[in-house]
Amino acid sequence: MSAVADWSRAHLAAWDRQQAAYINRREDRFAVMLDVLAEAVPAGALVVDLACGPGSVSARVLDRFPGMTCVAVDLDPMLVELGRQALAGHGDRVEFHEADLWDPTWTRVLGGRRPHAVLSSTALHWLPADVLTRVYRDVADVLEPGGVLLNADHLRQPAGRPLFEELSRRDDAATQARDHAAGALTWGAWFAEIAAHPHFAPLAEERERRYAERPPNPDLGLDFHVAALRAAQFREAGPVWQHLDDYVVLAQR
């Protein structure tokens, strides 16, 4: 392995620690998603890691299921390149593609292949309602019949439930305080490190350009996600795991 690949694996591990500081029980989320895969898709399944970041979902799928392959898709050129370098040891079992979910042609990266599962973690909450609804339709169109979508994400509590909102806020604050005190990087510090690395620094300007005019997080709730999945003709949809305002939503085509 090259020095860049070694650094990338270490920085992917730092990404996981950084993300866990903002997501309590993050590994529990992944465990539930993988348990569903074990029961619901073939041993040789093709899995799409949607809005993959540096490939945390793909890494766990590839490690647990030696017969599965992953197609990882994201808009962020730095994160895609980090994942490509960090998971290079898996060879042709994983491929990374840059694609924009705002563009309805993003599914072209599949080259006509039909995945058995589409997984996403802490990403789709950034999509506005119209884009999210269309992305769910896109996924339904490409999934094998009986295939599954799993979305692990913060889906904020609806207004009018002050106790629910306060418990979620306190949990987020306590998790960040604990993990940052233990050495986890903040979001900003993690990105500052990758932007300073000579292999990734040339991608920083393009990354900034791509995200420059994206709207803020729309904070769509669980009910919206489930309704959008049902409208996209998934035959079942609902939460399969929850911790306060953190969910894993499962849908079957």
Residue 159: the pLDDT is 75
SS3 125: helix
What is the rounded CA–CA span in Å between residue 90 and residue 105? 27
Residue 73 Cα distances to 58, 125, 140, angstroms:
10, 16, 16
Per-residue confidence of the chain (253 residues) as pLDDT tens digits?
699 999 999 999 999 999 999 999 999 999 999 999 999 999 999 999 999 999 999 999 999 999 999 999 999 999 999 999 999 999 999 999 999 999 999 999 999 999 999 999 999 999 999 999 999 999 999 999 999 999 999 998 777 889 999 999 999 999 999 999 999 999 999 999 999 999 999 999 999 999 998 988 888 999 999 999 999 999 999 999 999 999 999 999 9
Whose structure tokens read 């509590």? 157
Instruction: Please say whether the beta carbons of 97 and 73 come within 8 A.
Output: yes
What is the rounded CA–CA span in Å between residue 237 and residue 202? 41
- For residue 51, how many C-alpha atoms fall within 13 Å in the half-sphere facing its CB? 18
Residue 86: the pLDDT is 98
Residue 1: the pLDDT is 66
Return all residues near 59 (Cβ < 8 A) that are at least 6 apart: 12, 86, 87
The CATH number of residue 121's host domain is 3.40.50.150
Q: What pTM value is reported for the model?
A: 0.96
Residue 218: the pLDDT is 87
Tokens of 84: 């490509």
SS3 content of the chain, % helix, strand, coil (to 5): 50, 15, 30
Q: Which domain holds residue 123?
A: 3-252
Q: How many domains does the chain have?
A: 1
The burial of 250, by beta-carbon neighbours within 10 Å (0-12 exposed, 13-18 middle, 19 or more buried), is given as: buried
Amino acid identity of 241?
W
Instruction: Please say whether the beta carbons of 217 and 245 come within 8 A.
Output: no
H helices present in the chain, as ranges: 3-20, 26-40, 56-64, 77-86, 129-142, 162-181, 187-196, 204-211, 222-231
User: Which is nearest to 22 in space by CA: 148, 135, 190?
Assistant: 190
